[in-house]
Amino acid sequence: DIQMTQSPSSLSASVGDRVTITCRASQDIAGSLAWYQQKPGKAPKVLLYASSNLESGVPSRFSGSGSGTHNTLAISSLQPEDSATYYCQQYYTTPFTFGQGTKLEIK
């Protein structure tokens, strides 16, 4: 199985800040990576796919980059509604696997 490791596990930032979350894969996933946002009691919602492609309707303050085994999610100009847990997921091969999640708190 491909292991997905996110860092940090949690972070706290203020409205207007820029934050980054890193996702490392245990092997090359050729950009087959998606980022999801999950709020308590809700299903995850896709933010980006193919490492850096913004899903329709997602604010442009979300961006992704990376290739190979190293990917990053950046959120610029944090908003209160960005408080959530963020997951990366590889869809390069089965079994599809997720990172353990990064909980973002807005101060």
Partner 1 sequence: QLQLQGSGPGLVKPSETLSLTCSVSGGSISSNYYWDWIRQPPGKGLEWIGSISYSGATYYNPSLKSRVTISIDTSTNRISLRLNSVTAADTAVYFCARRWLYYGLWGQGTLVTVSS
What's the CA gap between 64 and 41, in Å, rounded? 25
Residue 22 within binding range of partner 1, rule CB under 8 A: no
70 forms beta bridges with 24, 67
Residue 66 within binding range of partner 1, rule CB under 8 A: no
Q: Interface with partner 1 by CB under 8 A: which range of 16-24, 47-55, 62-70, 73-81?
A: 47-55
Residue 77's nearest CA partner among 89, 98, 61 is 61
Q: In terms of C-beta density within 10 A (0-12 exposed, 13-18 middle, 19 or more buried), how is residue 105 classed? A: exposed
Least separation in angstroms between CB 97 and partner 1 = 7
Residue 93 CA to its chain's centroid (Å):
18
Q: Which is nearer to partner 1, 66 or 101 (CB)?
A: 101
42 forms beta bridges with none
Q: Which is nearer to partner 1, 43 or 80 (CB)?
A: 43
Least separation in angstroms between CB 68 and partner 1 = 18
Residue 86 within binding range of partner 1, rule CB under 8 A: no
List of residues contacting partner 1 (CB under 8 A): 1, 32, 34, 36, 42-46, 49-50, 55, 87, 89, 91, 94-101
